[in-house]
Structure 1
Amino acid sequence: MSLLLAILIGLILGFIGGGGSILAVPLLVYVLGVKPVEATAYSLFIVGIASLFGAHKHYKLGNIDFKIGMMFAIPSFIGVFASRRWVLPNIQNELFVFGDFVITKDLFLMVFFALIMLLASFSMLRERSISKQTKDNQQIKIIIDGLFVGLITGMVGAGGGFLIVPALVLLSRLEMKKAIGTSLMIISIKSLFGFLGEWGSEIDWQLLISFTSLAVIGIFFGVYFSKFFDGKRLKKSFGVFVLLTAVVIMLKEFFIF
């Protein structure tokens, strides 16, 4: 089951330029028994490598805008590196105590991750209108969005494609296929840069390499089959799945012990 889900992560990344990585952390934590903090680090590597292969495929198809991609990527990998290097290590193991109920660092990360999943699902399910903006405002918003996505990526290990793709479409006026390809380039850069913050930590390389290899296989299929499927319908279906997964995580963390 875990092998199929690893392939599914790459498949979804290839289809819609994001979203698949949102499954990596729950899979690593609940199925493979990896601790949440380690799972967010592993997810950065898995998503970064898989997205790199996907970006290469999209590059050959002419679906990457490097200028806009780097405008988003530079503040993004600054955010993710800062988050992994300084923010996450300084979060205490026990944050709050309410009687017998203790909010630990692991619990906080999983609940925060579930909230990000809810945001992701709403982003995928909601139709966004395009507003008129000046070029300067667009560039400033892209930079701010890049920094924000980087911080979120560092905290929860998600690639952030569910935030990047809409931003590229709405702020940069990229067509959907170019937004997907550019998103994969951005995700690969910032995720791998964020993983560098874990260098020197104890890492289960055997698990990481085998899982990543399956995700890479999935992303090749995702990029190929994306030419034959309705992206909007697929995105909404996955949005529902992400929403349900977020609810399950909340229930598991608060009510199932």
Structure 2
Amino acid sequence: MTLAVAVVAGALIGLSLGALGGGGSILAVPVLVYALGQGPAQATTGSLVVVAVTSLVGAVAAHRAGNVLLARGAAFGLVAIGGAIAGARASAAVAEPVLLGAFAALMLVVGTLLPVRQWRGRRTDPADRPVRRPGLDDPIITFSPTFACQCPRALKVLVTATAVGLLTGFLGVGGGFLVVPALLVALSLPMEYAAGTSLVVITITSTVALLARAGSGVAPDWGSVVALTVAAALAAVVGARIADRADTRRLTAAFTGLVLAVAAYTAVQALPALV
């Protein structure tokens, strides 16, 4: 039964990460805690394994489909590293009920923002406007032949990337619901590339956060984590293909309902320990 739960949950996580560029990892911690019996500290660490591997597989699939701007994703991810390390260290100093309470609040925020993000970032019908790969000749900061800085955009990238890193390190989530809008606004990527490129960012931040947690003495149940990870990674490939070929609005609506339901359940379980 435990294996079946891990496989089903992993499929949902992978589909969302592959198709929407984020959101699925928000389910990993509740699944590990309530369905697979791990403690919150164990779950947030195990979630990073699921997120890192699944995002990597999804990023490779999206790159093969031509939907990833690797250089921009890597640059954003490197900026987020500081936040990921700080978040991972802060997580070790927080009581487990506080972690679950913060996670429930985050899920409510994600459930609210996902439909908004999908509405704002809907794809333009190819018949109305051809999709063109954006050029890489509009850097935010240049040093040659002279120094030039688009400082407002640079500040947006710094603030958003740091926030993503903090969330990833602290709660074990990928932060794709923040990464995709940041790539759309700060780096001017079209939606067709933002979802795939966000997987590069999530891979970097979750890997760094996991390394920062190494040696903390908190080890998840690796059997459950591996089963969840394998199912999520395989589903991420399918999700990347869905993103390339289909309208993902229905998937977003269904996933939003699931996130809000799990958020309510997590809040009910966490609140008694906080009061």
TM-score normalised to the size of structure 2?
A: 0.80
Residue pairs, 1:80-229, within 5 angstroms: 80-84=84-88, 86-91=89-94, 105-126=95-116, 135-200=150-215, 201=217, 202-229=219-246
* Equivalent in 57, 62, 68 of residue 64 of structure 1: 68
Match of 2:8 in 1: 4
Identify the residue that residue 31 of structure 2 maps to in structure 1.
27
Question: CA-atom RMSD, angstroms?
Answer: 2.1
Distance in 1, matches of 2:222 and 2:192, equals 33
CA distance in 2, matches of 1:166, 1:242: 19
Q: Tell me which amino acid in the other structure corresponds to 1:78.
A: G
CA–CA distance in 2 between the matches of 1:142 and 1:255?
38
Output the CA distance in 2 between the equivalents of 1:157 and 1:216: 17
Q: Assess if the C-alpha contact under 8 Å between 1:77 and 1:191 holds in 2.
A: no
1:232 aligned residue: 249
CA distance in 2, matches of 1:23, 1:185: 20
Runs of 4 or more consecutive aligned structure 1 residues displaced over 6 Å after TM superposition: none
Tell me, in whole angstroms, the C-alpha distance in 2 between the residues paired with 1:33 and 1:116: 21
Q: Which amino acid aligns with 1:137?
A: P
Can you give the 5+ residue segments of structure 2 that lack an aligned partner in the other structure? 122-148
Tell me the SS of whatever aligns to 2:92.
helix
SS of the aligned residue for 1:174 comes to coil
Contact 2:40 2:100 in 1 (8 A): yes
Q: State the Cα deviation string for residues 30-64 of structure 1 (Å, max 9, x = none).
A: 00011001100110111100100110111112222
Instruction: Give aligned pairs, total.
Output: 239
Between stretches 145-154 and 57-66, larger displacement belongs to 57-66
Give distance in 1, aligned partners of 2:248 and 2:113: 14
Match of 1:241 among 247, 258, 274: 258
Shift of 1:129: 6.3
Distance 2:11 2:264 in 1: 23
Conservation of the 8 A alpha-carbon contact between 1:125 and 1:240: no
Amino acid at match of 2:32: L
Q: Which runs of 5+ in 1 are unaligned?
A: 92-104
Secondary structure at 2:37 match in 1: coil
Whether the 8 Å contact between 2:73 and 2:197 is mirrored in structure 1 is: yes
Q: Distance in 2 between matches of 1:58 and 1:165?
A: 14
State the alpha-carbon separation in 1 of the partners of residues 59 and 176 from structure 2: 13
TM-score normalised by the chain length of structure 1: 0.86
**Residue 203 of structure 1: how far off its partner (Å):** 4.3
- C-alpha contact 1:120 1:163 (8 A) present in aligned 2: no
CA distance 1:195–1:106, change in 2 (3 Å): same
Give the share of equivalent positions with the same residue, in percent.
34
8 Å Cα contact 2:91-2:171 kept in structure 1 = no
CA contact (8 A) 2:18 2:238 kept: yes
